[in-house]
Chains A and B, each alone.
Chain A
């Protein structure tokens, strides 16, 4: 005690003491905050993560029909082969339970597995690259909270010339664009939110944009529709072109479509878009739905008719 008192009296030891005290105070503050964070912030974080998992469309690909939630196994048939979505439950062996936050961020924004191998762009990291860091971490927090499922991943079925994953470095160099999707500044905050939802999170362009020979999105025809969508489907033009896109839709028409799947002419969404309506757009907040409407209807109209084989009529006479 005496020794301590003597030290405290010297100027040098006084400064050290103050620093030490501050450090202790900081540590104590951190401990208190750390204790408080998981209770309040944690619940909000999980809720936010769940919302983002829905908005990001994770469930559509990573949950197989009749399969366990986010345990993978669903096939995505593309002109480049069949990809099987992996298990993203927190199972330590078959899922992503052993991943650190940094590894998850790298996977989502750079398309790299924890062991450094490249992911195929069937996993839309080109779009997710635009996601905010805190949003990616909220997704990770939510995925860590769901039940782990011991379901092994199924290998993709690809032609031999596409099995060389290091070749994807070249692909990424060409197609991982800057600025990242959905991050461009906009004077209209609602439209900027819409751009973030459409381009980074919900990655609408991944299906609605035609691809070039190497599977990259053709930027000049973004959202103009394609006849070579997943599973060989025709995916419509969603730019506001009046002839071939959705230029005749009002704000309310598009909003109601995102909420229900019913078009202005009384038809309903089908195929993968029915799932997008059910799992993504109908579950968003109304503000986010309105942001999507504002952004999509402000896109530059692109004329791109997908009805090459027969004359375009007001309605498709062969639709049932």
Chain B
């Protein structure tokens, strides 16, 4: 009788463990998908801003909307990389968590750069626009240099 109870307890524990692991994995995949969505939206706005500040298109009235969107998304950047979201279909490198201080530093620089760009757009400071936008690009590059896996184009 004792053996039967022990076996049933073990089976219950095993089922709970499998359920917990599966649930966590599902949650992780969802976080990764959300992160990819946010990052893709940032790059969409970046592409639009690039066309405007280079004088390729005349959508200057939309610049504030793009700058604001980039900045709002960027302010959440660290929350997009909770621990243990470095497996699955992602290019996020383990260095994000193993070199947390360095990641925080580049994230802070990116946040400051996008805010400065938004402020420049708000102040309609056309002379500083391209330079501030380049600072934003530099901050993207600085993070992608060390924390994103190189794959495809």
In the bound complex, CA of A277 to CA of B145 (Å): 11
Interface residues of A in 96-149 (CB under 8 A from B): none
* 8 Å CB contact of B137 from A268, A273, A320: A268
CB within 8 Å for A319 and B137 given contacts A270-B144, A272-B150: no
Q: B47: shortest Cβ distance to chain A, in Å?
A: 3
Interface residues of B in 53-72 (CB under 8 A from A): 54, 56
Instruction: Fill in one digit per residue for B114-142: 1 if any A CB lies within 8 Å of its CB, else 0.
Output: 00000000000000000000100110111
B43 touches A266 (CB 8 A): yes
A320 touches B90 (CB 8 A): yes
Judged by a CB distance under 8 angstroms, whether A180 is at the interface is no
B150 touches A271 (CB 8 A): yes
| Closest chain A residue, CB of each to CB of B55 | A252
A320 touches B141 (CB 8 A): no
Q: A222: shortest Cβ distance to chain B, in Å?
A: 17
Judged by a CB distance under 8 angstroms, whether A269 is at the interface is yes
Q: Which residues of A contact B142 (CB under 8 A)?
A: 274
Kindly state the interface size class of chain A when it binds its partner.
Answer: 20 to 34
Kindly state the interface size class of chain B when it binds its partner.
Answer: 20 to 34
B150 touches A316 (CB 8 A): no
Among B36, B92, B153: residue with most chain A CB under 10 A: B153
A260 touches B137 (CB 8 A): yes
Where chain B touches its partner, the secondary structure class is helix
Judged by a CB distance under 8 angstroms, whether A256 is at the interface is yes
Q: Which residues of B contact A307 (CB under 8 A)?
A: 152
In the bound complex, CA of A122 to CA of B141 (Å): 26
* 8 Å CB contact of A266 from B47, B138, B144: B47
B150 touches A261 (CB 8 A): no
Judged by a CB distance under 8 angstroms, whether B39 is at the interface is yes
27 of the cross-chain contacts (CB-CB < 8 Å) are A234-B150, A234-B152, A252-B54, A252-B56, A256-B54, A260-B138, A261-B137, A261-B138, A262-B140, A266-B45, A266-B46, A266-B48, A268-B141, A270-B144, A270-B145, A271-B145, A271-B149, A271-B150, A315-B40, A316-B152, A317-B36, A318-B36, A318-B91, A318-B151, A320-B35, A320-B90, A320-B92
A interface residues, Cβ below 8 angstroms from B: 229, 231, 233-237, 252, 256, 260-262, 264-275, 277-278, 306-307, 315-320
B interface residues, Cβ below 8 angstroms from A: 35-36, 39-40, 42-48, 50, 54, 56, 89-92, 134, 137-138, 140-142, 144-145, 148-153
Given A236-B153, A266-B42, A319-B39, output 9 extra A-B contacts at Cβ < 8 Å: A260-B138, A262-B140, A264-B47, A266-B50, A268-B46, A271-B148, A307-B152, A319-B148, A319-B151
